[in-house]
Chain A
């Protein structure tokens, strides 16, 4: 059928393999969290989560078969997300550079930490 020649039908084996990988990664991320890696705990957890998300998007959501334009849109989404996080963190991480920029840390009246 000419109308369907562009349709890419995934193999059952591929889908099941992705499912198995996602289950294994879930187990790994839960187990790694029981080990004290200091700052690296969050890094490992996020790397595993990003790997899982990539697997879901690439295979289950079929990004691998979509047009270049759709792929560009997906990347654009990540760019927008990184702008959101980057600007937020450039604000919060630079607040300690000036005096009295952290009222929650210095002002007892706010009744919070320290």
Chain B
């Protein structure tokens, strides 16, 4: 009795194992996944949006301090890291494409590529943080940048506070992304994904691209303010 309720005979059109029973078609299932992921990403937009708003408020309040403090940002490293992230977005998009075409070898190749670019970004970021530490650029009692006009000493810390908040939260998202990519890589190795089932690759891809977009805004806002000054 219980068995007949728990295992109803499969409908003819449900031959595709990857379509869950509460979805009518694979397309509907994919649309639902995509919509859910975008809803999550919108909450992320607002999460980072709050910090961007704080940045905007303090920047218009202390434009001089922000402009002269940004000289302590390493533009070359920032630009290089931007390029690395853009490359990782390309390999991620290629990975999704490979999954859609059931090309397991390509999928693994591109996922490893994305992992390498993502990890390279984080390693560079770690060196950058270390540089900031050595140069006394951590806000607090030991904040003491060289050659900074003394009237900016107080407000310059606000920029560095925002810098560490924004890039720190971005880096946390990158670390989560690297974890998700590792999961995808294991699943791809086990040959889980195919043209019939690639939703996880596509959804984690959306997340990865979103984190890239956050950096696209962080780079000019943190590294390039008042660059023409110095």
Contact = CB atoms under 8 A, between A and B. Distances in A.
Interface of A: 1, 3-4, 6-7, 9-10, 12, 15-16, 18-19, 22-23, 26-27, 29-30, 33-36, 41-42, 45-46, 48-49, 52-53, 56-57, 59-62, 66-67, 69-70, 73-74, 76-78, 80-81, 84-85, 88-89, 92, 104, 111-113
Contact of A29 (B31, B65, B205, B220): B220
Contacts of B41: 77
Interface string B187-227: 00000000110000010011001101100110111001111
7 contacts: A7-B30, A9-B101, A23-B83, A34-B228, A73-B38, A84-B50, A92-B61
B16 A12 contact: no
Contact of B97 (A12, A48, A61, A104): A12
Nearest to A66: B34
Interface of B: 16, 19, 25-27, 30-31, 34-35, 38-39, 41-42, 45-46, 49-50, 52-53, 56-57, 60-62, 65, 75, 79, 82-83, 86-87, 89-90, 92-94, 97, 100-101, 151, 154-155, 195-196, 202, 205-206, 209-210, 212-213, 216-217, 219-221, 224-228
B19 A67 contact: no
Contacts of A9: 97, 100-101
A97 to B, nearest CB: 15
A82 to B, nearest CB: 9
A9 B49 CA distance: 32
Nearest to A26: B82
Contacts of A61: 205-206, 209-210
A112 B101 CA distance: 60
Contacts of B97: 9-10, 12, 15
A48 B46 contact: no
A70 B89 contact: no
A79 to B, nearest CB: 10
Contact of B60 (A35, A92, A104, A112): A92
B228 A15 contact: no
A5 to B, nearest CB: 8
A77 B45 CA distance: 7
A62 B52 CA distance: 25
Contacts of B19: 3
Given A18-B90, A36-B228, A52-B216, 20 more contacts: A1-B196, A3-B196, A6-B26, A7-B100, A12-B94, A22-B86, A26-B83, A26-B86, A30-B75, A33-B227, A49-B216, A57-B209, A67-B31, A67-B35, A73-B39, A73-B42, A80-B49, A85-B53, A113-B61, A113-B65
Nearest to A6: B27
Contacts of B86: 19, 22-23, 26
Tell which of A4, A12, A74 has the most Cβ of chain B within 10 Å. A4
Given A6-B27, A23-B83, A76 B35 contact: no
A41 B101 CA distance: 44
A7 B195 contact: yes
A15 B86 CA distance: 11
Given A33-B220, A46-B220, A69-B35, A81 B45 contact: yes
